[in-house]
């Protein structure tokens, strides 16, 4: 799965973090609400592009129309669409993953370049 191409490192990190978030969502479906809270918080900030606002709206729609398993499956998509969605995923930080877990994923990705 890990790539030797430096430009792919960010995508690898994003995919691994989203897989971890997906696992946590499956373990505790109620934490999806933290993603909605994060979208609301981000949406209240000024200075975002129209594209970012559209991404937030898309994630809000996904959360409101999918169950936890469906959201987890979207987070794990290893496709261009999955990559695009991960670029704005609201499932970051605790309870989806810790800072230590994030740093470990980053270290592994760079170690395997």
The tens digit of pLDDT for each residue in 52-85 reads 889 999 999 999 999 999 999 999 999 999 999 9
Phi, psi of 18 (to 5 degrees): -70, -35
Asked if residue 9 lies in contact with residue 76, where contact means CB atoms within 8 angstroms, the answer is no
The span from the CA of 57 to the CA of 95, in Å, is 22
* 44-54 pLDDT, tens digit each: 777 778 888 89
Look up residue 26 and give its two tokens. 């499956």
């Amino acid at each position: 799965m890990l790539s030797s191409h430096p430009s792919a490192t960010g995508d690898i990190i994003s995919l691994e973090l989203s897989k971890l978030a997906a696992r946590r969502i499956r373990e505790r479906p109620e934490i999806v609400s933290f993603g909605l809270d994060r979208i609301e918080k981000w949406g209240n900030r000024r200075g975002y592009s129209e594209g970012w606002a559209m991404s937030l709206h898309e994630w809000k729609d996904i959360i409101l129309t999918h169950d936890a398993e469906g959201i987890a499956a979207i987070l794990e998509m290893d496709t261009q669409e999955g990559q695009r969605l991960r670029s704005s995923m609201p499932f970051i930080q605790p309870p989806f993953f810790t800072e230590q877990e994030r740093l470990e994923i980053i270290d592994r990705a760079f170690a395997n370049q």
